[in-house]
Amino acid sequence: MDSTRRQMGSMSAVQQEPFSIRRLDESCYWLCCPTPMMRPMVISFVFLTQGEILVEDAEGGKFLVHKNAMLLVPQGSAFSIRYYKEAVGYMGGFHSSFVNCDFFRAETLFASHPVHALLQVPLSESDVRMLDTLFARIVQEVAKEEVNRNLVKSFFVSCLFQLAGGISVSQAPLADSISNAFLEMIFDETKPLLSVKEYADTFSVTPNHLNKLIKNHTDKPVSAWIEESLIMRAKLLLLESDKTVAEVAECLNILDQSYFARKFKKVVGLSPLSYRMMNKKS
């Protein structure tokens, strides 16, 4: 479980520091999901400029975070990252005492929302450009041996102040019960992956209806989510076991090793063995 330990080690700083931030980019593509449920004692955030992340709260609500959006998790609220795909942006955490000042209070971010509820805020293109520039400057500053905390605070409070203006149009978790149940099923490693028809039968709907429903709520059809889960499971097996590529394919009910290797490389951009070698060195 070395990859899982690396992943949790990088996230644990979010729970312990008054302010922490890290880039999400190609160096994070090894991120193993789902992560254990975390309950940081700071306000956590994820800001995406590309890709997507599926986050689940303690009540089972699911937030599909796309590019040009930020997710805020209140202090003490539990969450788990269920799925991660080519996400580019930033993640981190901050204590309210770090950002509170004369003209801004962290509590105002969640003023109109239920206690401990996760908050997703869609952003305009101009907001994304501004936040991306400020976050890049913050990362540059915190990487220095002698960090100017006042400068970091100034930049970050500017980010939150800008963000607060869009909270009135924040997005709730996926409200459709079938969409939630479907995503729960396909990312549950204890359950086998099924065909589109088999999933439709599970919910007593037609395949066409299920596809429309899932695409309306997640922007992707059922078949795309099945493939995402298949690749995620393959990554976990490659990183957390010594199984051969053929054995990994067999675990995924794929009898043709060559087909599995081609499919994996098409999606990931690396062969299964190259993916294993690159990420076990990380």
- Examine the pLDDT at 115 and tell me if it is beyond 80: no
Spatial separation of the C-alpha atoms in residues 118 and 172, rounded to whole Å: 8
b/e per residue 11-34 (b: at least 16 CB within 10 A): bebbeeeebbbbebeeebbbbbbb
Return the amino acid letter for 128: V
**Domain limits, the chain:** 2-169, 177-280
pLDDT at 10: 47
Q: Is the link from the previous residue into 173 a cis peptide, with omega within 30 of 0?
A: no
pLDDT, position 7: 43
pLDDT at residue 175, rounded to an integer: 64
Chain Cα centroid distance, residue 174: 15
**CA–CA distance, 222 with 219 (Å, rounded to integer):** 10
Does residue 148 contact residue 95 with C-beta atoms inside 8 Å? no
Q: What is the pLDDT of residue 32?
A: 65
Would you say the CATH fold of 177-280 matches that of 2-169? no
Q: Which residue, 67, 162, 66, 173, is CA-closest to 117?
A: 173
240 falls in which pLDDT band (50, 70, 90)? confident
pLDDT of residue 6: 41
Amino acid at 238: L
User: For the segment 242-276, what is each residue's pLDDT rounded down to a tens digit?
Assistant: 999 999 999 999 989 999 999 999 988 889 999 88
pLDDT at 107 over 60: yes
pTM listed for this prediction:
0.72
Q: Can you give the pLDDT at residue 177?
A: 80
**Amino acid, res. 142:** V
Residue 230: CB partners within 8 Å, gap ≥ 6? Answer: 193, 252
pLDDT exceeds cutoff 90 at 161: no
Higher pLDDT, 138 or 58: 138
Counting residues of the chain whose pLDDT is more than 70, the rounded percentage is 87
Q: Among 36-40, 197-201, 260-264, where is mean pLDDT lowest?
A: 36-40
* Predicted local distance difference test score (pLDDT) of residue 9: 42
| CATH superfamily of domain region 177-280 | Homeodomain-like (1.10.10.60)
**Predicted confidence (pLDDT) per residue in 47-78, tens digit:** 999 999 999 988 888 888 989 999 999 988 99
Tokens of 109: 């971010």
Residue 276's contacts (CB-CB under 8 Å, 6 or more residues apart) are 238, 239
User: Within a 10 A sphere around the Cβ of 260, how many other Cβ atoms?
Assistant: 20
Element (H, E) at 76: none
**What average pLDDT does range 107-116 have in this prediction?**
76
CATH of 2-169, one of 3.40.50.970, 2.60.120.280, 1.10.10.10, 3.40.50.720: 2.60.120.280
pLDDT band at 2 (very low <50, low <70, confident <90, very high): very low
Kindly report the backbone phi and psi dihedral angles of residue 145, in degrees, each rounded to the nearest multiple of 5, phi listed first: -65, -40
